[in-house]
Amino acid sequence: MNHLNEEAESKPQLKLEFEIKERDFSVAGEAASKVKKTLQQLGLMPEAVRNIAIIIYEAVMNVVIHATHGQLKVIIIPEQVTVLTEDEGIGISNVELAMKEGYSTAPLEIREMGFGAGMGLPNIKQCSHKLNVKSQVGVGTVLEAIVYLSSKDRKS
Amino acid sequence: MNLRDIQRILKAEVLCGEQWLSREVKTGFGCDLMSEMLAFAGSHTLLITSLTNEHVIHTAEIMDAVGVVYVSGKQPAKEIIEKANHNNIPLLSTPFLMFECCGLLFTSGLKGCKRGNP
């Protein structure tokens, strides 16, 4: 289930990849933190950086909570940043419902950690210009979120 | 209002980041849900929480939060404090419970975050 933006593939780009293992809760924050630092070094403005970091945090948490394993790819080209997670796991039976604020299937222990309150996908949608979620029950989920960068998103 | 004022109002112990207490605090956000923090908190926001796990530190870092206050006297593990210190995030611990802590700061003039307008 690969939905890499082909246009993005053909241009000069920076690609960051992370392996996501089941129940490896640290990877979400660490990946978000690493990408944030990279984007800051590239000179992106704080608002764009924050939105992309939030997308990564939430998207990777979803994989950690619900899937058996997966991958995060962040593809940076001058015009846009694409955040892509691909996982193998239970999938989402009703994507529309999962996009609803407050809807959650996360177990109690995840909620005790401060996640699983049904805000993940709505947050990702809020922070991205384009969001595409494709899921197959019992197989896995592919999430692609795109943040377009205008000249005002770059410091130089 | 800066973090030094916050510390005084909340009778808080400084767990790390003593050198950053002159930082200005513009808004406060009290919550134990990380996604809500990620959605609503802005920069120069003080995060107020009773959760002591590493996600609070990562969230604070991503939001460019000005610092974190733990309520009801909670204190995170040593590794968490080190991580915060490494990321320049001051940590405070207040004996007040969440409601009183937020009430004290609000009546002292600290504003809350607004939805869609961090």
Q: What is the structure's pLDDT at B118?
A: 43
**pLDDT band, residue B15 (cuts 50/70/90):** very high
For chain A, how many helices (H) and strands (E)?
A: 6, 5
Chain B hits for A114, Cβ within 8 Å: 32-35, 49, 51, 53, 55-56
Domain A15-153 has CATH 3.30.565.10: yes
Do B92 and B7 touch, CB atoms closer than 8 A? Answer: yes
Q: Which structural domains are found in chain B, ordered by start?
A: 3-111 (3.40.1390.20)
Is the pLDDT at B117 greater than 50, yes or no? no
Q: Where are the alpha helices (DSSP H) in chain B?
A: 3-9, 34-40, 54-63, 78-86, 98-107
Summarised one tens digit per residue, pLDDT across range A118-156 is 999 999 999 999 999 999 999 999 999 999 998 888 765
- Residues 6 or more apart whose Cβ sits within 8 Å of residue B107: none
Domain boundaries, chain A: 15-153
Contact A117 B39 (CB under 8 A): no
Q: Find out whether B85 and B68 touch, Cβ atoms under 8 Å.
A: no
B65 touching A (Cβ < 8 Å): no
Contact: A114, B62; criterion CB under 8 Å: no
Site from B33, B38, B117 to mutate, A interface, most A CB atoms within 10 angstroms = B38
Mean pLDDT confidence for A55-71: 95
Q: What's residue A5's pLDDT?
A: 53
Q: What is the DSSP string of A8-51?
A: HHHS--EEEEEEEETT-THHHHHHHHHHHHHHHHTTB-HHHHHH
Mean pLDDT of A53-73: 96
| Cβ contact, residue pair B35, A115, below 8 Å | yes
Which candidate from A114, A117, A119 shows the least CB-CB separation from B51? A114
Q: Which two tokens stand for residue A30?
A: 């660490």
Query: Are A155 and A44 spatial neighbours (Cβ–Cβ below 8 Å)?
Result: yes
Does the pLDDT at position A21 exceed 80?
Answer: yes
Q: Which two three-digit tokens encode residue B112?
A: 């809350």
The ipTM is 0.87
